[in-house]
Amino acid sequence: MYKNIIFDFGGVVVDFAPKDFLMDHFMNRRAEEETYALVFGSQEWLDLDRGIISREQANQLMLENAARANRVFEVQTCIEEWAAMMQTKKTTVQIMRKLKSAGYRLYYLTNMASDMMDELRQREWFSLFDGGVASCDVHLLKPEPEIFTTLMQTCNLAYDETIFVDDTKANAQAAYNLGITGILYKNPKSFTRALGACGIEVD
């Protein structure tokens, strides 16, 4: 019987679609692909999530790399505006509230930079969580198994009583490999269906 549900943030609780963001801003496929690699696909981005570099250091390195690729304008635009895409997914929060009211304990497990975590902690829905782990705080990244075990041990969760929800297949698979039920988040409808298949009704 499930008691605990762990949520990823980006793409599940808040919007995070960098390729759509780039398409909306530049409408040039080559510019979008090169800028994605320089920002969201960069080592600096991973280092931010892992909590081993500051936002200022990361931005400086990204802009240096952008200068070599003649993409300073595009990268500067991302640096200034990317956080605006992280709008709360209201339907997910509604589901979370129903789960909480039904007695389930909610947790988070997210790859997130420290400055963005500080911002998310101020949002009204953050108090719904009973605990969680952010990558920047433990210097680990999904889908590394160690970040999952860190959460499970820190919050004293039983693997066979826990569901993990993520929009990235590799992360959901990593949870499954450890004995946690993984749900791949695609949209609210498929999410509620997947919960129903686990015996959890939220409608």
Whether the Cβ atoms of residue 5 and residue 192 lie closer than 8 Å to each other: no
Q: What pairs with residue 151 in β-bridges?
A: none
Global pTM reads 0.95
Residue 31 lies in a domain: yes
Max distance between CA atoms of the chain, in angstroms, equals 55
For the segment 116-171, what is each residue's pLDDT rounded down to a tens digit? 999 999 999 999 999 999 999 999 999 999 999 999 999 999 999 999 999 999 99
Whether 123 is in a domain gets the answer yes
The domain in which residue 93 lies consists of: 4-15+86-197
Judge whether 202 lies within some domain. Answer: no
CATH number at residue 127: 3.40.50.1000
Judgement on whether residues 105 and 152 belong to the same structural domain of the protein: yes
105 and 139 together in one domain: yes
Give domain status of residue 203, yes or no: no
Q: Are 114 and 147 members of one domain? A: yes
Q: Which helix (H) or strand (E) holds 165?
A: strand 162-166
Both structure tokens of 62: 């990204």
Note the pLDDT tens digit of each residue in 59-77.
999 999 999 999 999 999 9
Residues 80 and 178 reside in one and the same domain: no
Element (H, E) at 4: strand 4-7
154 CB-near residues (< 8 Å, 6+ apart)? 131, 133
